[in-house]
Structures are given as C-alpha cells and as structure tokens.
Structure 1
Amino acid sequence: MEKQGWVSIWLGNINDEDSIGEYVDLTYDEDGESIPSQFFIDFNIGMAETDEDTIEKAVYTSSSRDISALLEGCSYEEIVIPKVQKSINLKKHIMQ
C-alpha cells in the first residue's frame, strides 16, 4: 500500500543484478498489461498499491550489518537512514 511519507525496506540474499531483476521487476503481456513479479506474489503486494517507478534495488558483493552502508545512495537517504537507524536502535534497546 502506498502511503505519503512512508518507505518499505526489504533486505535479503540474492546472487546478482540479473537475479534481483528477475525476482522484482514487473513484466508485461502482449496487451501491455503488467504481470506481477514473484516478489509481488511472495509478499502479496497488489499491483495497484505500488508505483513501479519508485522501486529501488541494489546488490552488494559483500555482506554488511551496517544499515547505513546498505541504504547509502538510496533516494532521500539523508531522511531515510537516520529514521531507520533510530528505529533499529529502539528495537535493540527494548529487546535487551
């Protein structure tokens, strides 16, 4: 579902750019109608709920637990990264 001022962040393991594209990118039939990708199917995301032009994805050659490194270069990173870091720190504090 699309909400103003919200962002969804999905993290996972994948081998390469081609694999993530095959998993996430929409395809189209001969009439130009979009066909949901396996990502949309796996997470029950409705086609009307997402603007495909706002989807950003990246594959890194090495793993990291540093959320700011993983999100570096994303749109609005100066807003997104501090908010995500704050949320993660709150959860760690509560769980300890």
Structure 2
Amino acid sequence: MNTVDRFTVDLSALEEVRRRLSTMLGQLDGTAVDAKYKTTIPAGCLGAREDRFQEAAGLRLAHDTAKESIGAIVTHLTSLIDSYRTKTGIVHGSYQDSDAAAKHLMQ
C-alpha cells in the first residue's frame, strides 16, 4: 500500500527570508556607494612633496585596485542575493497557490 508523505510549508518563514534578503540588498547598496564614491586617495593628499614619497603612486594604485575588487564583490553579492530573493518569492507564491487550490477543492 502506497502512502503519501504529508508536509507543511511555513509561508511566513519564506516571507521572512524575502524580507531579510531585501534588507541585505538595501545595506549592500549603501556599501556599494561608499566603496565607489567615499574612498579615494587623490594625488597630493599624501603631502605637498609627493615626488619625495616614492611609494605614493603605488599606494594610490593599490587602493584603486582594492576598490575595484570590493566593487566587483559587492556587485556579485547583490546579484546572488537578488536571485535568491526572487526564487524565494517564486517558491512562496507557488506554495501559496497550491494551498489555495487545495482549500478550494475541500469546499
């Protein structure tokens, strides 16, 4: 005799996951802006005689390279989290529709 395994899905938990992922996306937006626009080492900021500070150009280059890497990481994380949030919403909607259909059949 075959038996059907029954399970339940906590729709409120799925919605909470979506909410938290949306919050994370908002925080990453701020991080992306900070990384792109609020970190800079402009020429001359290391002293009036940077020509005597041989490492100044290398320091600015290393900073710019790190800044680009951080930007790429934030972009990747944003894409990953947004994808997961979207998929969680699709799963939530599918379970919600299935639950509504089952209730309709029971009437």
TM-score (norm 2): 0.26
Quick check: which one's strand share is greater?
1
- Please say which structure displays the higher CA radius of gyration: 2
